[in-house]
Amino acid sequence: MGGAIAHLYVQVMSAAQSVLGVSEAVAQVVEQAQKSVVRVQARHSHRGDTTGIVWSDGVVVTASHGIERDERIGVIDDAGKQVEATLAGRDDGTDLAVLRADTSGATPLVFAELEGVKVGHLVLALARPGRTVRATLGIVSVLGDGVRLGHGGKVDRFLQSDADTPRGFSGGPLVDLQGRALGVNTSGLLRGGALTVPTTTVRRVTEELLSHGRIRRGYLGVGVHPVRLPPGVEAQIGKRMGALIVAVENASPAERARLYMGDVLVSIDGHAVATPGDLAVLLEERIGVEVEATIVRAGKVEVVKVTTGQRA
């Protein structure tokens, strides 16, 4: 009996040491990463402040919905130093905003791609909505393919964790146990939930905003709604669904090309269109170029050439 108790004691102590080791490792990750996590003051006082991440020297990335004003923006770093910041650009489609500020003394956070990340891996959500850093621990709960969100935004991978992200955590990083950021947390893209905008998307949007101050997207200037094609048209073109044009903007590329309400858009440059999302994806990188729009008008299939415009 004495030997069994001694063996159990050794197992318990070994497990305790392992837990303590993990605990210390997590604390060290927070201690190192917090040097890159800043407080962003750009909201009305009753709403509280939000979090930002030092992306590179002089550049801070944060959540767009946390920037309620474009002027009088302040950034406070880990040492308590407060500096003024200017808005370089924002993209509501991915809920990212980029600020320019004096970040000397702060350390840019290392961002990592999602290769090797699996559902179940431990992660930390960090934030600085007040003077001190806050952290919550969780696991990667969802890791999926790219998805298009509202306002034409697209994230390259769909990433969620079960780490708690209360008010003020938006704009902060999701960090792995190596201290690398996997993306930027936000509660501004999903109704009633939060997700992490992955590194690939953050890098793409940040570079675009720093270069142009906005995300350039092609557009036609139409509102569309999915619709079932008539059997005769379906048999002719081999497509079951199309996108009914329900609105045409004044002076838009669509109006100039003489597209009308009631036309059914079925493809752009041969690529099928059945939903607003389909159209947004196809137009995203087609800016100021001529495209062939296949439409159904009064039961007849026609091809209309349209020169796309540009919309931020």
Of the candidates 36, 170, 187, 267, the residue annotated as catalytic is 170
- 225 an active-site residue? no
* Residues contacting residue 33 through CB under 8 Å, at least 6 positions apart: 109, 124, 126, 173, 175, 179, 181
| Token pair listed for 65 | 């919905």
- 164 an active-site residue? no
| Token pair listed for 177 | 């146990």
Count of CA atoms in the C-beta half-sphere (13 A) of 251: 1
Which residues face 228 on adjacent strands? 241
- 95 an active-site residue? yes
Q: Does residue 182 contact residue 199 with C-beta atoms inside 8 Å?
A: yes
Of the candidates 49, 95, 156, 263, the residue annotated as catalytic is 95
Of the candidates 65, 91, 92, 176, the residue annotated as catalytic is 65
Count of CB atoms within 10 A of residue 25's CB? 13
> Alpha-carbon distance 76 to 168, whole Å?
14
- The number of angstroms, rounded, from the C-alpha of 260 to the middle of its chain's C-alpha atoms is 34
Q: At 268, which helix (H) or strand (E)?
A: strand 264-268
- The number of angstroms, rounded, from the C-alpha of 247 to the middle of its chain's C-alpha atoms is 28
Which residues are part of the catalytic machinery? 65, 95, 170
